[in-house]
Amino acid sequence: MKRPTIPDLAEAAGVSISTVNRVLNNPESVRKPTRDRVHHAAEELGFYGLGVIEHSVRKSRATHKLGVLLQQESRTFYHNLGKALHTAAETYPDANIKLTLIHLEDLSPDKVSNALLELSETCDSIALVAAQHPLVAQAIQTVMQKGIPVTGLIAPLYAANNVNFVGLDNWKVGRVAAWAFDKMVREPGKIGILVGNPRYQNQELNESGFRSYFRENNSKFTLLEPLPTYESSAVGRELVEDLLKKHPDLCGLFVSGGGITGALAGLRDMPRRQDFVTVGYELFDATRTGLLDGTLTMVISHPLEELARQTIATLVSSISSKSAIGAQRVALDFQIYTSESL
């Protein structure tokens, strides 16, 4: 088979031979849509100079330095999210991304604030997972006053300036969880609620949506006061065991934050009603096992790959838009898992 030539590539891309030569040797002089058209035609033809074209396309792209602050890498969800973000950065189609991703072990407000301020020294746009706190809000404001946009990831964040958001519609998440209890529990009773940390706005919205559903649709359930696990599995286990001792008639448990691994261990160790319903967050090995062995009834989960892609895209777009158009808010469709969907 004849090897494709530059004239063949020019014809396939619908451009002149000189345009192909400029894409190969001086890509900055060619408009991006034309470069992309030549690149696509080269892929289709199997053009021998495809590597040169890909290099020239990459070279001509803008380069953005992005920063992301996540929670402890030892937590499976954040380990997996970190990997997904690196992949999204490497495959981002419209720019070269230099990603600085930090997993914070100490989540105290001063540590989060200091890490954010340090990232702002080298990054053009920053996303972080953090609890709402005056120190964090002040750090966000300081960073944004330097012209660096900030995005709240998973949990909304508020400051004097516009803060972007990428995550779920957390109010809706809470209402969907409540719907599961309403439809699956045969005899309404008490429902325990575990939150990771009430300062995380997503968890507060989850609980608000959860309670609003029952106010509107079924007042026969009794919703107990939320108990914070502070993202600790050990605390989650202890709280579940105490709940079942104090309320042996408990009909369900909503785990809307961290600590679910310990909560599942506590449920396995304690007797409970036959129609007991448990709804938790994020699909990973422990929750998958919980669904399969019946300890968990339903899991509501972030779509990790889409979350990562949208985070990178929002960080990039916010560099050019700054705060002129107001905060960007990206609400993703969440995933629902049961034992039958695995």
Tell me what pLDDT residue 3 has: 76
The verdict on pTM exceeding 0.85 is no
Please tell me the number of Cα atoms within 13 Å of 276 on its side-chain side: 20
What whole-number distance in Å separates Cα of residue 143 and Cα of residue 158?
13
Tell me what pLDDT residue 332 has: 97
Give Cβ neighbours of residue 157 (< 8 Å, ≥ 6 apart).
Answer: 128, 130, 132, 136, 137, 140, 150, 163, 165, 201
- Same domain? For 187 and 290 the reply is yes
**Eight-state DSSP code of residue 209:** H
What whole-number distance in Å separates Cα of residue 193 and Cα of residue 45?
59
β partners of residue 281: 300
- Same domain? For 210 and 224 the reply is yes
- Same domain? For 161 and 310 the reply is yes
Q: Which of 46-50, 193-197, 267-271, 280-284 has the lowest mean pLDDT?
A: 46-50
- Same domain? For 155 and 175 the reply is no
pLDDT in tens, 190-218: 999 999 888 899 999 999 999 999 999 99
**CATH number, domain with residue 229:** 3.40.50.2300
Tell me what pLDDT residue 157 has: 95
User: Structurally, how many domains does the chain consist of?
Assistant: 3
Please tell me the number of Cα atoms within 13 Å of 47 on its side-chain side: 24
User: Does residue 215 lie within any of the structural domains?
Assistant: yes
Expressed as residue numbers, the domain containing 189 is 170-301
Task: Look at residues 60, 80, 102 and tell me which one is the last residue of a structural domain.
Answer: 60
- Same domain? For 132 and 217 the reply is no
- Same domain? For 187 and 255 the reply is yes
Residue-wise DSSP of 61-97: S-EEEEEEEES-TTSHHHHHHHHHHHHHHHT-SSSEE
Task: Look at residues 34, 60, 86 and tell me which one is the last residue of a structural domain.
Answer: 60
Mean of the per-residue pLDDT values of the chain: 90
Tell me what pLDDT residue 95 has: 85
Give which of 206, 265, 274 is closest to 237, Cα–Cα. 265
- Same domain? For 250 and 315 the reply is no
Tell me what pLDDT residue 34 has: 83
pLDDT in tens, 131-178: 999 999 999 999 999 999 999 999 999 988 789 999 999 999 999 999
Reported as a pLDDT band with limits 50, 70 and 90, residue 94 is: confident
Query: Which helix (H) or strand (E) element contains residue 228?
Result: strand 227-228
Pair of tokens at residue 131? 């609890």
- Same domain? For 130 and 104 the reply is yes
β partners of residue 166: 153, 330
User: Does residue 104 lie within any of the structural domains?
Assistant: yes
- Same domain? For 146 and 118 the reply is yes
